[in-house]
Amino acid sequence: MLKNIKRNKYFCGLDLGSHTIKAALIRAQDENNLELLGVYELPTSGLREASISDLTELSQVILRAIEGVCQRMAIKPNVLHVGISADLFTSRRSSAVIPLVDAGTKVVAPSDIKKVNHQAKLLGVGIDEEIVHSFEQFYRMDDVNVALNPIGLFGRKLESNLLLLTANAARLRNMNKAVHQAGFDVHQVSLSSFAASQVALDESFKIEGCALIDIGAHMTSVLFFKNGILGDIQFIPWGGHFITQSIADKLSLTSDLAEEIKKTHAVAAKLNQQESSGDILVKRDKGYVPIRRQNVCEAVEWEIENLLTHLETVLKGSGFYHQLNKGAVIVGGTALLPGLMERIEERTNLSISLGIATKGLQNPSTFAGAIGLAQMNYSQKKNKAINLKTTKTWIQMLLGKFEELCQEYF
């Protein structure tokens, strides 16, 4: 019997993928002592093509995933940070301009930043959409002065430029409902790939320039970081399940058997004739059946080449390509395919490394999203607690407003 958590010590992340559902649990003493207690993975059920096909099935598998990761600690988290796959997202840029003063100039205040960002969000979101993430890119003062943080600068008008990640509002509500039906509250919803970047990338990588390649089941996300800012997101309509399906189709196998062959025998490296010769023994109902290794290699190579073509186009076609001083980091289950990093490195001319979410964990890149969600759950609650403790008194707030008025009119 799991007991509810009474103290904010344990934090859980839930990664709702189109192929598998992953959960991670961490224990937090403080920001420098985050201990990963466990991860858990189950096949996704009740979710199909980025939409819920069976609410009850999805809720049940969510509950089993959380129970699985928390069973050893005999606890039950009340609140989850939920991650959803790139299939549900659309990325776009939005900008807005507001006047600061009719005549003369004024000093930009935090309220001005909030106002212009709010306007940019309104202009960048559709009627049936909801903004999940908003990433500030830069601000422009009076069409001439570009700044990452314009607070304190003089100007007459202020322009905001944002990178927005939006999702269909009804789909988001349905995802939240599935989590609620499983018995949990949703602290926040995030793109799983962005959560993975929080644990797979060092801060120095984000500052000097790096791309995160997150290969999902049906979609691959490429996130570009520079100067500590997420500057762009590109989605590639290709995922690891394409390899599984290719093996199943070309060898007349079931999806489950093809997935097993992919995990145990598939390689992304180009093999010579001698290396690809021989047979693979596959267990069937009536015993073991030999399958030619060369056929498996051909089925895999077709899809690997497809991925490489997409990645080369996205990476080299990006305005960030020549700023990626730290190369690219790859995460996701398919990232573990032997030879894949070397093939990507050769095609893109970038240094490629495997994203390690935490040491001592088998297949750490597979659970980067779930672990990142758990850590974001802690970080956001911690920041919220700090803000509550340092809330300004009404006198300080009044003085701040008075100062802003003085800057605007005098």
Mean pLDDT of the chain: 86
Amino acid 174: pLDDT? 94
Backbone φ and ψ of 89, nearest 5° = -105, 155
What is the mean pLDDT of the segment spanning 283-304?
A: 82
pTM of structure: 0.87
Contacts of 104 (CB under 8 A, 6+ apart): 156
Place of tokens 């690891």: 240
218: pLDDT strictly greater than 50: yes
pLDDT band for position 251 (cuts 50, 70, 90): confident
Q: Strand 328-331 and strand 210-215: pairing?
A: parallel
Other CB atoms within 10 A of residue 51 CB: 14
Tokens of 293: 């290794």
What is the mean pLDDT of the segment spanning 374-402?
A: 56
Amino acid 91: pLDDT? 95
Write the secondary structure of the chain as one string of H (helix), E (strand) and C (coil). CCEECCCCCEEEEEEECCCEEEEEEEEEEECCEEEEEEEEEEECCCEECCEECCHHHHHHHHHHHHHHHHHHHCEECCEEEEEECHHHEEEEEEEEEEECCCCCCEECCHHHHHHHHHHHHHHHCCCCEEEEEEEEEEEEECCCEEECCCCCCEECEEEEEEEEEEEEHHHHHHHHHHHHHCCCEEEEEEEHHHHHHHHHCCHHHHHHCEEEEEECCCCEEEEEEECCEEEEEEEECCCCHHHHHHHHHHHCCCHHHHHHHHHHHCCCCCCCCCCCCCEEEEEECCEEEEEEHHHHHHHHHHHHHHHHHHHHHHHHCCCCHHHCCCCEEEECHHHHCCCHHHHHHHHHCCCEEECCCCCCCCCHHHHHHHHHHHHHHHHHHHHHHHHHHCCCCHHHHHHHHHHHHHHHHC
**C-alpha to C-alpha distances, 247 to 253, 302, 307, nearest whole angstrom:** 7, 10, 16
Amino acid 360: pLDDT? 52
Q: Give the residue, 348 or 18, on which the prediction is more confident.
A: 348
Let me know if the fold of 3-87+170-202+361-388 is the same as that of 90-169: no
Closest CA relative to residue 348, chosen from 161, 147, 164, 210 = 210
CATH fold, domain 90-169, is Dna Ligase; domain 1 (3.30.1490)
Residue pair 157/105 in contact (Cβ under 8 Å)? The answer is no
**CA-CA distance, 306 to 343, in Å (whole number)?**
12
CATH fold, domain 211-354, is Nucleotidyltransferase; domain 5 (3.30.420)
Q: Which of 135-149, 259-273, 349-363 has the lowest mean pLDDT?
A: 349-363
Q: What CATH class is the domain 3-87+170-202+361-388?
A: alpha beta
First-to-last C-alpha distance (Å) of the chain = 66
106: pLDDT strictly greater than 70: yes
Delimit the domains of the chain by residue range.
Answer: 3-87+170-202+361-388, 90-169, 211-354
Amino acid 363: pLDDT? 62
